[in-house]
Structure 1
Amino acid sequence: MTLDYRWLHDRVRHRFESDEALEAYLPQALTPDELKRLGDDRYLSAMSRRVFRAGMNHAVVDARWPAFEEAFWGFVPEKMVLLTPEQIEGHMQDERLIRHRTKLQTIPRNAQFILDLLQEQGGSFGEFIADWPSTDIIGLWRLLARRGARLGGRSAAGFLRLVGKDTFLLTSDVVARLVAAGIIERPPTSQRDQQRVQDAFNALQQASGRPLCQLSAMLSLSIHPRF
Structure 2
Amino acid sequence: MESFLDIYERACARKGSKDILESLLSEPVSKTQLAMLPDDVWLEEFTRKIFQSGFYWSVINAKWPGFRDVFWDFSVEKLLYMSPEMFEQRAQDERIVRNYKKVQSIAHNCLMIHELALEHGTFSKLVANWPEENIIELWLLLKKQGSRLGGNTGPYALRAVGKDTFILSRDVEAYLRAHEVISGGLHSQKSLRSAQAFFNELRGQSGYSLQKLSQLVAYSVGDNVLGVTS
Aligned-partner SS, 1:105 = helix
- How far residue 105 of structure 1 moved from its aligned partner, in angstroms, is 0.9
- How far residue 3 of structure 1 moved from its aligned partner, in angstroms, is 2.8
- How far residue 92 of structure 1 moved from its aligned partner, in angstroms, is 2.9
Aligned to 1:147: 145
Letter in 1 for 2:92: Q
Work out the CA distance in 2 between the residues paired with 1:31 and 1:187. Answer: 32
Do the aligned partners of 2:70 and 2:95 also contact (CA within 8 Å) in 1? no
Work out the CA distance in 1 between the residues paired with 2:25 and 2:79. Answer: 35
1:190-205 matched pairs, under 5 angstroms: 190-205=188-203
1:71-107 deviation digits (Å, cap 9, x = unpaired) = 1111111211222222123223321111100111111
- How far residue 187 of structure 1 moved from its aligned partner, in angstroms, is 4.3
Paired residues in the alignment total 225
Work out the CA distance in 1 between the residues paired with 2:123 and 2:141. Answer: 13
Aligned to 1:66: 65
Match of 2:210 among 209, 212, 216: 212
Work out the CA distance in 1 between the residues paired with 2:110 and 2:183. Answer: 37
TM-score, length basis structure 2: 0.93
Aligned to 1:222: 220
Work out the CA distance in 1 between the residues paired with 2:124 and 2:104. Answer: 23
1:34-113 matched pairs, under 5 angstroms: 34-113=33-112
Do the aligned partners of 2:14 and 2:224 also contact (CA within 8 Å) in 1? no
Work out the CA distance in 2 between the residues paired with 1:18 and 1:11. Answer: 10
Q: 1:110 to 1:22 in 2, by over 3 A?
A: same
Aligned-partner SS, 1:198 = helix
Work out the CA distance in 1 between the residues paired with 2:102 and 2:94. Answer: 15
Aligned-partner SS, 1:223 = coil
Work out the CA distance in 1 between the residues paired with 2:179 and 2:209. Answer: 20
1:119 aligns with 2:156: no
Match of 2:132 among 128, 131, 134: 134
Do the aligned partners of 1:81 and 1:109 also contact (CA within 8 Å) in 2? no
1:179-202 deviation digits (Å, cap 9, x = unpaired) = 122212344332122111100000
1:33-63 deviation digits (Å, cap 9, x = unpaired) = 1111210111111111111111111121112
Aligned-partner SS, 1:6 = helix
Aligned-partner SS, 2:15 = coil
Q: 1:3 to 1:188 in 2, by over 3 A?
A: farther
Aligned to 1:5: 4
What RMSD in Å do the two structures reach over aligned CA positions?
Answer: 1.4
- How far residue 18 of structure 1 moved from its aligned partner, in angstroms, is 3.4
Work out the CA distance in 2 between the residues paired with 1:176 and 1:183. Answer: 10
Q: Any unmatched runs of 5+ in structure 2?
A: 226-230
- How far residue 69 of structure 1 moved from its aligned partner, in angstroms, is 1.2
Q: Any unmatched runs of 5+ in structure 1?
A: none
Work out the CA distance in 2 between the residues paired with 1:9 and 1:75. Answer: 40
The ranges of structure 1 where at least 4 consecutive aligned residues each deviate by more than 4 angstroms after the TM superposition are none
Work out the CA distance in 1 between the residues paired with 2:58 and 2:36. Answer: 26
Aligned to 2:228: none
Do the aligned partners of 1:67 and 1:97 also contact (CA within 8 Å) in 2? yes
Work out the CA distance in 2 between the residues paired with 1:161 and 1:173. Answer: 17
